[in-house]
A and B are shown apart, each in its own frame.
Chain A
Amino acid sequence: MLECRGITFSYDKNHKKLFQDIDLKINPGEIVGMPGPSGQGKSTLAKVLSGYLQPQVGTVLVDGSPLPAGKNPVQLIFQNPEHAVNPHWNVRKILNEGGIINPELSKNFGIQNFWLDRFPHELSGGELQRICLVRALCSNLRYLICDEITSMLDALTQAGIWHSLLQEIEKRQLGVLVISHDNALIARLCSRVVHFFEDTGK
């Protein structure tokens, strides 16, 4: 179980708190949705849950123990895949960063062999996002945080990516947090929705 207890975060001491005293539990195999308008701190919470940022108060526990400093069973997929890859690396090297690539997995995500020698700027956003997903899925992860991962993509690409991803989540019983401002997408994918970042009239 991925669990956070009483988390409070602000970017610096004088800054207002982005969120306060947040509790959240995600069980293996469960897909939890987190909707909300932009600028409220969804991405920040995603980074706290995956260990990129440390909360001022509270803890994040994965299956009972704190997040490790190194290899992380909680992987974050970013909204902009081009920031998540080294622009000087080719796709083959990028894919292999997390572990040995499972050919079947990479086929399910529609990764073409001729992409392997390309550089990131020679792929579309959707193609690059698939690569980031396959890379994360080959790294022994147990929990996946998806931060607006298909917001930049057209409806067809979006559907294709989620189709492949749902199969993998089901098969491996991954716990997933889906962050999106698209309520229809969340309604379609998630078995439970948490409302930390609804419109508060601010």
Chain B
Amino acid sequence: MFVQLYRIHLNRRSRTLVTVISCLALFAAVFLGAWLYGENGEITNLQLRKLPPSWEQPFGTDWLGRDMFARTLKGLRISLMIGLSAATASAIIALILGLAAATLGKAVDTAVTWLIDVAIATPHLILLILIAFACGGGAKGVIIAVAASHWPVLTRIIRAEVLQLRSSAFIHLSAKLGRGPLWIAWHHMLPHLLPQFVIGLLLMFPHAILHAAALTFLGFGMSPHTPAIGVLLAESMRYLSMGLWWLAVAPGLTLIISVQAFDILGNSLRVLLDPKTCRE
């Protein structure tokens, strides 16, 4: 009976592990594919214009005969990179502000809490467009805009987590058992914060990628010279009425799949890292 129960639990853990590995493999495949195809997506071939998806061109070709599969892979790689940079920058801002709010006293805490409230109250897309516009568009503008608008939620989580830890009985008790502040920070605080931070970071990727794509689609982001997924989608709009549906469908679907994969990855890691669920 117990053995059986344990097996079922083990199975859930292995299933989660398989999910995590599949997501990682998917991202590896995107980067590897983009690298293998290289500049193939830039080659125009006027004999192969406007072809619907087939075995040779799984995502079809565009109005210049460029292979949409190669273009999508490259676009996805650009979008992932931008999402990654923006989310990482945002998470680091969140870490610094969250730690500062929780440890540097009342005045800093009030200031950070006020900043969080203001940032959350401002409509997201307007903030994004304003910042991207102010930074002059381009990849840099998109990264700054996304990074500057996504930190509040994680900041709030980290601040609350540190405040709660600092008032926990087991932290005070550790000091009474003779442990110093650095030992406590390293052994008690960090293992609590790290999963929160990593999961917060992972769950920020989907937002970062989608917002970067949205900005680009609306024309405030990357130029046609950096063909991110948002650029591909914006271009495809002009040809939709001509019946070239595959130009929008294939890149759109891959974008949704990668965003979903990050979401699944973040939530699976949450299950694996929590001692209450990690044995299941």
Residues of A with Cβ closer than 8 Å to B?
A: 50-52, 69-72, 75-76, 78, 83-88, 97-99, 119, 121-122, 135-136, 139
Contacts and interface: CB of A to CB of B under 8 A. Distances in A.
Given A119-B275, A121-B276, A135 B177 contact: yes
Given A50-B176, A75-B177, A83-B168, 12 more contacts: A70-B175, A70-B180, A72-B176, A72-B177, A76-B176, A78-B169, A84-B169, A84-B170, A88-B191, A88-B275, A99-B178, A119-B275
A121 B275 CA distance: 8
A86 B170 contact: yes
B124 interface: no
Interface of B: 168-170, 172-180, 188, 191-192, 275-276, 279
Contacts of B191: 88
A83 B170 contact: yes
B176 A87 contact: no
B2 to A, nearest CB: 13
A61 B10 CA distance: 53
Contact of B176 (A75, A83, A121, A122): A75
Given A71-B178, A139-B178, A87 B173 contact: no
Contacts of A87: 275-276
Given A119-B275, A121-B276, A85 B170 contact: yes
A41 B170 CA distance: 21
Contacts of B179: 97
6 closest A-B pairs (Cβ-Cβ)?
A71-B178, A98-B177, A83-B169, A72-B176, A119-B275, A86-B170
B177 A97 contact: yes
Nearest to B275: A119
Nearest to A80: B169
A85 B172 CA distance: 11
Contacts of A119: 275-276
Nearest to B172: A52
Main secondary structure on chain A at its contact with chain B?
A: loop
A135 B64 CA distance: 73
16 contacts: A70-B175, A71-B176, A72-B177, A72-B178, A76-B176, A78-B169, A83-B169, A84-B169, A85-B170, A87-B275, A97-B177, A97-B179, A119-B276, A121-B275, A121-B276, A122-B279
Q: Indicate the member of B168, B169, B174 with the most A CB atoms within 10 Å.
A: B169
A124 to B, nearest CB: 16
Contacts of B178: 70-72, 98-99, 139
A69 B175 CA distance: 8
Contacts of B175: 69-70
Contact of B177 (A88, A122, A139): A139
B233 to A, nearest CB: 43
A183 to B, nearest CB: 27
B9 to A, nearest CB: 12
A139 B191 CA distance: 24
Contacts of A135: 177
A99 B179 CA distance: 10
A34 to B, nearest CB: 20
Nearest to B177: A98
Q: Indicate the member of A50, A88, A121 with the most B CB atoms within 10 Å.
A: A88
B54 to A, nearest CB: 53
A48 to B, nearest CB: 13
Given A83-B169, A84-B169, A97 B176 contact: no
A72 B177 CA distance: 6
B169 A88 contact: no
Nearest to A73: B176
A69 B172 CA distance: 11
Nearest to A140: B178
B185 to A, nearest CB: 13
Contacts of B173: 76, 84
Contacts of A139: 177-178
A42 B81 CA distance: 58
A119 B169 CA distance: 17
B22 to A, nearest CB: 27
A79 B192 CA distance: 24
Contacts of A71: 176-178
A122 B277 CA distance: 11
B257 to A, nearest CB: 33
Contacts of B192: 88
A99 B178 CA distance: 9
A75 B275 CA distance: 27
